[in-house]
Amino acid sequence: MYYVYILKSLKDHKYYIGSSSDVKKRLDFHNSGFQRSTRNRVPFVLVFQEEFPDICQALKREKQIKAFKGGEAFKKLINGV
């Protein structure tokens, strides 16, 4: 299974959208500071995840979420509406 996830930085309150087969491991990786693009924004908390049967569907959904990041659709998604 693959997952699309949204992390929220507790430092700057911005979001990071990604996909992985192991969300817990990815969250730990982000919070460890090894991810160059997010190291200055740690710590992160998981605010959303969706499950998909294969990586292609997960990447398609990740791209879709990134396209409406910050808009009304994104706010509804992270608020569970």
| pLDDT tens track for 46-62 | 999 999 999 999 999 99
pLDDT for res 47: 95
More confident position, 37 or 51: 51
- Six-digit token string for 42: 């740690």
Give the residue extent of every domain in the chain. 2-78
pLDDT for res 69: 66
Q: For domain 2-78, say whether CATH 3.40.1440 is its number.
A: yes
- The residue ranges of DSSP E strands in 1-81, in sequence order, are 2-9, 15-20, 44-52
Does residue 36 surpass a pLDDT of 70? yes
